[in-house]
Amino acid sequence: MDPDRAWDVQDVLKRTFEPPHAGPYKLRQSNSAIWLRFQLTNPIEVSQTLILNSSAVFNVEFQLFKVVGDKAEPSGKEFKFHRPAIRMTIPPGTSNYVVKLVNWNNFYELNLHTIELLWKEGVLSLVTLGLAIGILLVTVYLSSGMWIGLRQTTLSYYLIYIHTLMVTIFANSGLIRYFFEGPALTWGTYNLSGFMGAVSIMCLAKLLSHLLRLKLNLKFLYYLCEAYTAVFFVLGIISLFTANPGLNEGIRLVIASFMIIGLLLFVLPFSHRVNGHRLLTIGWLSIIVGTAGYVLTIQNIIPRYWFSTNLILIGSCIHVICFTLVFLKQHKILKKEHQQIKEDLLIQSMESEKKEALVNLEKERTAALTSLVHVFSHDLRNPLTTVMGYLDLLVHEENSVPPKKLLQKIHQSAQRMDQIIDMVNKQEAIRLNKKELKLEDIDLMECIQATMDIFEGKLRAKGLRWTVHDEEQFKDTKVRADTTALTYCVFSNIISNAIKYSSYDDSIDWSIKVNQDQIEIAIADCGVGIPPEKLEAIRSFDQHIRSNKGTLGEDGTGFGLQQVHRFVGLMEGTMAIGPNPNGEDPNLSGTEVKITLKLSPQQSKEKVA
């Protein structure tokens, strides 16, 4: 057929159909050229698009002829392509065209679509694209950087998903497919073959090392697999711009061989080591069978049906679904393990808190026992000493003091001891949260006098004096406190320390100051005082401070000030300790203890008035 003149329509193959129906249609071969005629029974005023698909990259020249009556006249348009897919636009209003294809050496397909149909399929492609990207992102996210067999080969890991994504998109019958299906699948076959080759190399090396008991340099092996994958990646890009059918045929053989190697060396021996190995095996088998079926279909070994031409799409989808399910399962297992770890940590934390509570309880018991020892060794000793002193007077100096007066003193001391024991019981009840101190309005001066009576003998033995400044002014002052606690646990401990660290002929001074609804009681001595480095530790009141010996060698327990601080707090007051600001000797400044308590409500009103 001579392209320079018009030919009868009967000399070419007639194909008549109505849009939106499309091919493929087998073309008529005439020597080295193919003539094709298509005809629209109802021409439409939109552009038509012809897509010519080949099984490989090819060189083709084609010429467009316009049908006029019974003749095919050259339109003057000639095209040359070397791609696996050709797109050609037919002008609006055209009803008949004839296409001449030159240098034909493969099986071709002709597809005719209207723009309207392409837009509908474009929407389908966009939906497919969104689903494919979603599956890819979810799978990569849930995988947490994990890969089966090739944990370090990140390039291979992502290329297989890029390939699966491309196959999912381009193997659908939509708008993108007709523009890019051929190049995408060609590039995808290179990526898949490179990945499967890398997997096969890795697995074969591990198998040989196991059989021959060799020690491999896995780091070098990983780099080798990365390089192998990268080479195939580059070859795939080159194939998009070259016309080399032999290269593509060779790639198909390589892919087929690597599919078999990958099946034998990766799927069966190694997948059983991974959780969900059955799903992984199904996924790999699906993509292997799908790719092999696609290769056999484009080679015309098996018939071209919708199912056979989309085998690689079906296999890839099953592959992605299986891997996603495995990763979801692995994610669930990891989540369960994470929950178990959290529960174990919680149990450990509870056990640790329980141990800490037991240690604190033991500390409290030790402190309570120590406090009890202090009471018996210190607080009870004062009235007991008084009793012993008066008994000595009765025995040895019975005529110097009236017996009745001595017996009254002994009786008072016995009462004090009974009150102290009652205070010990109260203290233990308070520690166990079973009881609180009974705060009531009590006479402050009576408590001060009772305290000094307890230490009358010791004061006389050391020649100590004691005074209350402005005593008459505070004679009827009442405070909110517990009589026993204030007398025997607060004032007694302070006065005992003042006596112990004071020298002969010193004085102990009481001073009282009223501030609104509170009263400040200061007890100052002129003794040895407290060193500055020890004063800070004492002020914390939360640790035991070893007591120094008194001026006459008296021993102490070191718990007195802790007791004072504790009971002042229970009576809703405060305590402060420091040097005596009125001390005459700078080297013997003495100590001042300030106790702040609440005034009785009645006296608070009187002060305000």
- DSSP letters spanning 405-444: HHHHHHHHHHHHHHHHHHHHHHHHHHHTTS-----EEEEH
User: Do residue 53 and residue 155 come from a single domain?
Assistant: no
User: Do residue 164 and residue 278 come from a single domain?
Assistant: yes
User: Do residue 231 and residue 325 come from a single domain?
Assistant: yes
User: Do residue 182 and residue 310 come from a single domain?
Assistant: yes
User: Do residue 318 and residue 441 come from a single domain?
Assistant: no
Q: Which pLDDT value is given to residue 63?
A: 53
DSSP character at residue 272:
G
User: Do residue 328 and residue 468 come from a single domain?
Assistant: no
Q: What is the mean pLDDT of the chain?
A: 62
CA–CA gap between residue 555 and residue 532 (Å, rounded): 21
263 found inside a domain: yes
Helix axes 311-374, 154-170, angle to 10 degrees: 130
Q: Structural domain tally of the chain? A: 3
pLDDT tens for each residue of 72-130? 455 555 544 444 444 444 444 444 444 444 443 333 334 333 333 344 444 544 554 55
User: Do residue 306 and residue 455 come from a single domain?
Assistant: no
Q: Residue 599's beta-bridge partner residues?
A: 479
408 found inside a domain: no
User: Do residue 556 and residue 464 come from a single domain?
Assistant: yes
Q: Which pLDDT value is given to residue 126?
A: 53
Q: What are 209's two structure tokens?
A: 């090392």
580 found inside a domain: yes
CA–CA gap between residue 385 and residue 488 (Å, rounded): 15
Q: Are strands 518-525 and 591-598 parallel, antiparallel or unpaired?
A: antiparallel
User: Do residue 100 and residue 179 come from a single domain?
Assistant: no
User: Do residue 64 and residue 164 come from a single domain?
Assistant: no
pLDDT tens for each residue of 461-488? 888 888 888 777 777 788 988 888 888 7
Residue with tokens 């040359």: 80
DSSP character at residue 600:
P
CATH number at residue 508: 3.30.565.10
Q: What are 589's two structure tokens?
A: 């400044």
Residue with tokens 């636009």: 89
CATH number at residue 78: 2.60.120.510
The whole-number average pLDDT for the span 51-62 is: 43
pTM attached to this predicted model = 0.38
587 found inside a domain: yes
Whether pLDDT at 252 is above 70: no
User: Do residue 234 and residue 197 come from a single domain?
Assistant: yes
426 found inside a domain: no
Helix axes 175-212, 218-239, angle to 10 degrees: 150
- In single-letter form, the type of residue at position 487 comes to T
Contact by Cβ (8 Å): 108, 35? no
pLDDT tens for each residue of 169-187? 444 433 333 334 444 455 5
Reduced to 3 states (helix: H, G, I; strand: E, B; else coil), residue 531 is coil
* Number of separate helices (H) and strands (E) present in the chain: 18, 17
Which of residues 311, 338, 365 is at a domain's end?
338
Which of residues 99, 116, 133 is at a domain's end?
116
Containing structural domain, residue 269: 144-338
> Please, is 26 exposed, middle or buried when counting C-beta atoms within 10 Å of its C-beta (0-12, 13-18, 19+)?
middle
* Cα–Cα distances in angstroms (integers) from residue 235 to residues 193, 196, 230, in the given order: 11, 15, 9
pLDDT tens for each residue of 290-317? 767 766 776 567 776 656 666 766 776 7
> Please, is 260 exposed, middle or buried when counting C-beta atoms within 10 Å of its C-beta (0-12, 13-18, 19+)?
middle
User: Do residue 265 and residue 207 come from a single domain?
Assistant: yes
560 found inside a domain: yes
